A = this chain, B = another copy of it.
């Protein structure tokens, strides 16, 4: 389905960026009130800190939803909070113009005033992330992109930040790379648990190749931020070379995927395809829940940037386990 008359992508992009700024300002106000004790004392009747934060989540989602409904009344809306209230976990994104938003990604960080929290606003057209806005108000970093217009930090610095030239991916990747990942919410330990399979995948990527029986990737650094949207934003920026994660929902990644792709990054499935890696690497659908993202890359003498990205995808697939995150 197409846009209505009078709706241009330019206009929607401008609206989305302003919406991100406004929602982020509200997040910052809520954080400031929390720091000063106002919110906490006002919420004393609530069960615990999580309830309080859910109120912030809901407030910001309502604010965003109303703004969108007023400006683009025919567009579909999917938000983390409204979605979670439904019992179904089915994938609801179709061809129609759809907003897919997370009012507060990194809720635990917000709760602790660790700056890696953000609002994430994705606009999807014909099933594809077309506009993305991620704003982390505590550190004033606004990431934005619209298909065909590039990806930007604070509307002025084009992503990736290093671009004259864009660095190639290390020949021994994940060696030389910053690998970004998350411990996640599932913490049941045991040989077949997602948690243990994740941890052993991290070890596989981080450990020294020369010192173990099992071949390790010896990534240069491992980072865990607690926000999938920030992970994707920093991969688009070039700060992270590789992001691998399981368990995301579409509102966690819709904006970030658009920003990453517009910056020149690659996103595909985080599930290794089996022993035969001699396959075509395809774009991943928004509902997949398992992601592997590679930063924008320049060419080297031996390969194009895309060839480098595909080489790193295959290197990671070799090192990680298959995780199990069904939709239901």
* A interface list, Cβ under 8 A from B: 34-37, 40, 108-109, 112-115, 139-141, 157, 161-165, 167, 178, 183, 187-190, 193, 195-196, 199, 202-203, 206-208, 211-212, 214, 216, 218, 220-226, 234, 237-241
* Neighbour of A238 across the interface among B113, B164, B237, B241, CB < 8 A: B113
Across-interface contacts of A207 in B (CB, < 8 A): 187-189, 195
> A178–B108 contact, CB under 8 A?
yes
A212 (CB) vs chain B CBs: closest residue: B189
* Neighbour of A109 across the interface among B113, B199, B202, B239, CB < 8 A: B239
> B234–A208 contact, CB under 8 A?
no
Taking A109-B221, A139-B141 as known contacts, 19 extra A-B pairs with beta carbons closer than 8 A to each other, sorted by chain A number, are A35-B163, A37-B163, A37-B165, A112-B240, A113-B238, A114-B234, A140-B140, A187-B206, A187-B218, A188-B207, A188-B208, A189-B203, A189-B208, A189-B211, A189-B216, A190-B211, A195-B208, A199-B199, A221-B226
> A239–B183 contact, CB under 8 A?
no
> A161–B113 contact, CB under 8 A?
yes
> A114–B222 contact, CB under 8 A?
no
* Neighbour of A222 across the interface among B37, B214, B218, B224, CB < 8 A: B224
Subset of 24 A-B contacts with CB under 8 Å: A35-B162, A37-B165, A40-B162, A108-B220, A108-B221, A112-B238, A112-B241, A113-B161, A114-B234, A139-B139, A183-B221, A183-B222, A187-B208, A187-B211, A187-B216, A189-B203, A189-B207, A189-B214, A190-B211, A195-B207, A199-B199, A222-B224, A222-B226, A224-B224
Determine the distance from Cα of A193 to Cα of B190 in the docked complex, in whole angstroms.
Answer: 21
Determine the distance from Cα of A214 to Cα of B188 in the docked complex, in whole angstroms.
Answer: 11
A164 (CB) vs chain B CBs: closest residue: B37
Determine the distance from Cα of A208 to Cα of B100 in the docked complex, in whole angstroms.
Answer: 31
Determine the distance from Cα of A222 to Cα of B109 in the docked complex, in whole angstroms.
Answer: 10
